[in-house]
Amino acid sequence: MKSKNLLILAAVVIVVLAYILLFERHRPTSDESAAAAEKVLLDFERDDVMGIVIENGADRVRLEKVGEEWRLREPLDFPADTSVVSSTLGSLANLTADRRLAADEINPADYGLEQPGIVVTLRMDDDRERVIAVGDELPLGSKRALRVDGGDGVMIASSWFVSDLDRELDDWRSREVAEFLENDVASIDIESGADSIRAVRLEDHWQLLRPLEDLGDGDHLGSLISDLASMRIVEFLDDGVDPSELGLDVPENEITVFRADGGEPLRLDLGATRDREGGTEVACRRGDGEYFWASERVLTRLAKAPVLWRSKKVMPFETWNVEEFRVTTSEWSSSLVLEDGFWVFADDVEANMTHVQDRLRALADLEATDYDLMAPLTREMGSVEVVFEAEDDGQERTALTFTFYAPLEEGGRAMVQVKGRGTVMGIKAEDAEAILEDLEGLRPEPQPDSDADSE
């Protein structure tokens, strides 16, 4: 019997512990329950808000959530500052009532609630509306009377949240000119007078399509996009804008950025410039009619001749992704394979890791001095092949082959061709010679015989 009783007690204890772990521990504490009960907006999640209307006297602001971003709809249509909207919703979500007064305890006129100075209407994702009427500031202390969702009672709360509602129109507007990162961009078009540039972003590089087809300068294009994203609006222009006065009737530069997700392209025209204490500013037109002055961050990059937007590097690649490395000349051929994180020769001798990486880095950073040379008429100096790790199981590995040719004359430039880039490029002869050095030189230096040393 004692054993049976012990088993029953043990089972009860297990059940109680399971209940506590599964249910009770997720219930709010008494302090948490009290805090929730003090909230002005009960059962409210700010992430569920899809629209906001703030009526402040004669002023009316309406905002709408579009995807994950916010946009002003009234009194004008303009991207909203998402961080400001989020901060405002956070203030409302955390607003607590110091006192709650029943309908029979108050006269709404005494609290400024018959014709409230501010009314906030929140449209939720289920189309419900939450309404906060904000009364006058009370005589004693910085308090406000509130009426929520048309209830008869009144709540008294600290008035610190009113500053989030009583904003100037421009404070609701986003000052970002372009909101994207390089990975968000599919392609970019630039028209600068008679010059035209088009570049497409592929998986691991930029491809230039205009004014010629070639590998794009990834560093330059990436920096241009970064500069666009860092531009900030310093002055909004809404009424009576004359594009000709801003140099926007015939813009100096017209930029169109196409998004990788297929979203609305960014169209941005750049016109006149002006000098201010904080630096140079440029007149901008975004889309069909958003005019503003913005900090100038891109004009220097846009001034680069279109033909120079092609990659200066012969064929950049990530050295960490290389699995095989082979150098061949008319006299010899040598190769290395990456095994378990170490570069090894065919006879399983480990190569000097630092020197191998230096050689690969020199190849990845090799820069062209000339482009579009005639097909090489000189002897072939040698070739280098790098084989890359397959991105996914079952996929074939990819490779790059660099073929080097001797200079046309003593002291001249060597030449190189790379599969996948349709141009013959000039390079420094010493760079080619260094890359084509025998890989056998990357073997570790022989260690002295300790026995011989001791004799």
Say yes or no to pLDDT of 367 above 80: yes
**Which pLDDT score is estimated for 14?**
65
Integer-rounded Cα Rg, in Å, for the chain is 34
Residues 6+ apart with CB under 8 A from 350: 342, 343, 344, 444
pLDDT digits 0-9 by tens, 279-302:
899 999 999 889 999 999 899 999
pLDDT class of 28 with cuts at 50, 70, 90: very low
pLDDT digits 0-9 by tens, 58-93:
899 999 999 889 999 999 999 999 999 999 999 999
Concatenating the DSSP letter of every residue in 252-313 gives SEEEEEEETT--PPEEEEEEEEEEETTEEEEEEEETTTEEEEEE--SHHHHTS-GGGGB-SB
pLDDT class of 445 with cuts at 50, 70, 90: confident
Task: Provide the residue type at 245 as one letter.
Answer: E
In order of 161, 181, 252, 284, 295, the CA distances from 230 in angstroms are: 30, 10, 20, 14, 9
Say yes or no to pLDDT of 7 above 90: no
Average pLDDT of the chain, as a whole number: 88
* Alpha carbon distance 142, 160 (integer Å): 8
Task: Provide the residue type at 230 as one letter.
Answer: S
Per-position b or e across 20-55, b if 16+ CB within 10 A of its CB: eeeeeeeeeeeeeeeeeeebbbeebebebbbbbbbb
**Which pLDDT score is estimated for 9?**
64
**Which pLDDT score is estimated for 11?**
61
> Taking a C-beta distance cutoff of 8 angstroms, is the pair 159, 143 a contact?
yes
Once rounded to an integer, what is the mean pLDDT over residues 225-239? 94
Task: Give which of 152, 149, 84, 86 is closest to 120, Cα–Cα.
Answer: 149
Q: What are the tokens at 101?
A: 């007064």
pLDDT digits 0-9 by tens, 94-119:
999 998 988 887 787 888 888 899 99
pLDDT class of 413 with cuts at 50, 70, 90: very high
Q: Which three-class secondary structure state does DSSP give residue 397?
A: coil
- Residue ranges of domains in the chain, CATH in brackets: 36-172 (no CATH), 182-308 (2.60.40), 319-442 (2.60.40)
Cis, peptide link before residue 211, omega less than 30° from 0: yes
pTM: 0.76
